A and B are shown apart, each in its own frame.
Chain A
């Protein structure tokens, strides 16, 4: 039994300690906004925040996440849309949308520790894959989110 703190709630999950957090979130807790893309930490579709750090949940065992603060896309907008979500809407970033939960969580972590990211910072830290090619709009959206976060 692992005790997880997901989106501000304490939840006990009865799974193997080595089960990746992704599958505990999706199949045990029904939080399917976090996506499965590669299962190998390569694409970032499964990105969640663990203690504020963008983390690829498909290669993070539940045992590593236990007791830490986990934020998923479902928790991000609970108290009104986050600046990143508002910027994403303004910039018309999503297409198919599948990678966008992970992209948004990565952007939230980026502007939290770097309030004025340059294009080079965005290139370095926004490393999640998008097959629809939303990168140019996401890049603009990260800059806009950084502005919105200061308002």
Chain B
């Protein structure tokens, strides 16, 4: 079928001559506005003459393309990282277009984009300096080119607003006129980058450049890829992790309309058809026999008991200070509590998918990945091709949250494309996405405090039993029984006690675990911040005042918590049945404090009404996207706190779709107010994740304030709070 689309919005998604996907949206309303250009670099297109450096391309008409080396998954990096480049380049940001840097080029061009992995809330703090340098370097070359052209000293030329000027002669030239010469300039020394007091663009709350694409349906996600001769694949992974495919009967479905083939793949089997619906329906109808393996008899009740037992040791030394044994020898009061959290799925809105075209000596991949570099390596391995002959055309990511850091779906897409010799778009249904995730680890934490007569902590003993992410990903053995993810927020607990000891038991089940928005902080902050609340009450003190007393050595924490208490109306009266709870946590270089106001009805229904957050990330590149990330992180954590749990029965995940793995909806969303208490200086903290850890304990502490019932196990939906 052919359909001619003649519309004002003409969306083009086609193969360029170089084999790269060109993504462009043309709409009169946005003509001249910033948009995603998205033409990946490839050796065929090479270093175009208008490329001033690997990050900055200026066409003769002075249109500017900036290359962003991180993935856009909602956090706003296409805008904020482009702002960093443009800050130094001194150009009109409204005329800038942005495209992804090429992972392939990074591999063959001396790692010019450094780490392209997007995770760990690292995009700004990890790339700011070299992006500033790239922008400054491009500007200095444009100035040098102008100086040569006019026979003046570079110091006599000024670059701003996309023009280089020489005041003495009154001459000026556009960046477009200078770009080709600038590309040939070799700078004797790299220019210094701006200091924060010199920023003009950084710190401005600019609107996101991708919004117009995202309100018109024009933004292209991996799942939207369409290629000539492409077929669609639906995959079934072995329902029990670690199991194997034994056999399948393609003859049972081979006569169905549009069905092309069944192909065994890593972890399962895929059915290929000419339409995804036909592929997934045929897959459902195809008899498959699995060898479930030894884990097929396990269940969550057993895991829970095992994690509890694991707290009794042996425990590896996860850090601490002081003499804990002495502190616990004869405490005035001993407080002890065990906290538990379940496995959690990421469930990004865009189900996992990848489109692969294997052509013998070359593989092209279209998908949304948090790591073009590891995607490239995975595709090369799956397709038996030199990594230098793999081209990853990164798209918009329909959510990531850590899940798109390891691209299991890509391996399968390449395997199917190789087997059939044509482009394949492989999609996991929502059920596959939920049941074949790599989850936030299940964990149990035992928190003990030895209190002195005045209620202050003489000693803390924190023990955690949690799955090792390093082991689960096959990234090697864990040294001395401790990995960073397990102890983040525990070993660096900001509350000063007489002594602290952290014990760790890294215990894995057959369920794979990985990075989930805020990683170990997601469970450790729940335990620490709930426990501090418990101790404060045990000591008969106000939770804010108690925290402040233990944070005297941390002025940065105090600045955040004081502003939080003020903005969040701490101590002000609330109606009956409504409670206020607070939590504060440092992760990824950023301190976030949150106060939740929670109403608990007589029947035990929980409604989070309002969340106030206060953040110290040092500096802000874009206050708008920063606030959006806090709102996002709060709601991601709120869903987990209220509803989130993945449970195992007979070795397999019981949940499958949004009916059994519920997500907060509009009616569940509180009012969220974000404030900043920026400490500046050398501190540049992350923002994608640090807003998540405090929300679960803030809610749990608010439930305690409202009802007197202490929440020590998540999610709250499993806790009876009714009268």
Contact surface of A with B, Cβ cutoff 8 Å: 7, 9, 11-16, 19-20, 22-23, 26-30, 32-40, 42-43, 45, 72-81, 85, 88-89, 92-101, 104, 122-124, 126-139
Contacts and interface: CB of A to CB of B under 8 A. Distances in A.
Contacts of A75: 7
Given A39-B430, A94-B211, A139 B669 contact: yes
Contact of B7 (A36, A78, A139): A78
B636 interface: yes
B671 A136 contact: yes
Nearest to A81: B29
B303 interface: no
B212 interface: yes
B634 A133 contact: yes
Contacts of B211: 88-89, 92-94
A130 B429 CA distance: 17
A102 B219 CA distance: 13
Contacts of B399: 96, 98, 131-132
A131 B666 contact: no
B257 A30 contact: no
Contacts of A80: 8, 29
B7 A97 contact: no
Contacts of A79: 8
A135 B349 contact: no
B657 interface: yes
Contacts of B5: 30, 74
B721 to A, nearest CB: 21
Contacts of A76: 216-217
A128 B663 CA distance: 10
A111 to B, nearest CB: 15
Contacts of B277: 19-20, 22-23, 27
A29 B213 CA distance: 20
A139 B217 contact: no
Contacts of B594: none
16 contacts: A27-B232, A27-B276, A32-B220, A32-B226, A33-B217, A35-B349, A36-B351, A89-B212, A95-B75, A96-B349, A96-B398, A98-B349, A98-B399, A127-B666, A136-B670, A138-B666
Of the listed residues A9, A97, A134, the one surrounded by the most CB atoms of chain B closer than 10 A to its CB is: A97
A72 B663 contact: no
Nearest to B672: A136
B657 A40 contact: yes
Contact of B8 (A73, A78, A124, A127): A78
A12 to B, nearest CB: 8
A131 B631 contact: no
Contacts of B659: 40, 42
B658 interface: yes
Question: Which 7 A-B residue pairings sit nearest by Cβ, starting from the closest?
Answer: A33-B217, A133-B635, A98-B398, A96-B74, A97-B214, A73-B217, A95-B74
Interface string B629-656: 0011111101000000000000000000
Contact of A97 (B1, B8, B9, B74): B74
Nearest to A95: B74
Of the listed residues A73, A74, A75, A136, the one surrounded by the most CB atoms of chain B closer than 10 A to its CB is: A136
Given A34-B217, A42-B659, A23 B275 contact: yes
Given A28-B1, A73-B216, A137-B631, 8 more contacts: A15-B275, A30-B5, A37-B349, A40-B659, A98-B349, A98-B399, A100-B215, A133-B638
Contacts of B11: 74
Nearest to A105: B217
Of the listed residues A16, A28, A131, the one surrounded by the most CB atoms of chain B closer than 10 A to its CB is: A131
A92 B209 CA distance: 10
B99 to A, nearest CB: 17
B347 A85 contact: no
Contacts of B427: 36
B632 A19 contact: no
A146 to B, nearest CB: 15
B224 interface: yes
Nearest to A84: B215
A92 B657 contact: no
Of the listed residues A36, A43, A75, A98, the one surrounded by the most CB atoms of chain B closer than 10 A to its CB is: A98
Contacts of B668: 135
B597 to A, nearest CB: 15
A42 B349 CA distance: 12
A35 B398 contact: yes
Contact of B666 (A29, A88, A139): A139
A144 to B, nearest CB: 13
A131 to B, nearest CB: 5
B401 interface: yes
Contacts of A135: 635, 664-666, 668-669
Contacts of A12: 1
Contacts of B214: 94, 97, 100
B666 A126 contact: yes
Contacts of B664: 133, 135
Interface string B251-286: 000000100000000000000000111101000000
Given A13-B1, A96-B73, A129 B215 contact: no
B74 A132 contact: yes
Contacts of B27: 77
Interface in B1-48: 1, 3, 5, 7-9, 11, 27, 29
A92 B257 CA distance: 44
A146 B427 CA distance: 37
Interface string B355-369: 000000000000000
Contacts of A93: 211, 215
Contacts of A85: 215-216
Nearest to A120: B667
A81 B214 CA distance: 12
B350 A137 contact: no
Interface string B403-447: 000000000000000000000000101100000000000000000
B273 to A, nearest CB: 10
A130 to B, nearest CB: 7
A38 B666 contact: no
Contacts of A15: 275
B3 A11 contact: yes
Nearest to B670: A136
Contacts of B514: none
A78 B669 contact: no
Contacts of A74: 5, 7, 9, 11, 216-217
Contacts of B143: none
Nearest to A38: B430
Contacts of B213: 97
B348 interface: yes
B699 to A, nearest CB: 15
B519 to A, nearest CB: 17
Given A104-B215, A139-B666, A16 B624 contact: no
A133 B207 contact: no
Given A79-B8, A95-B628, A101-B217, A124 B1 contact: no
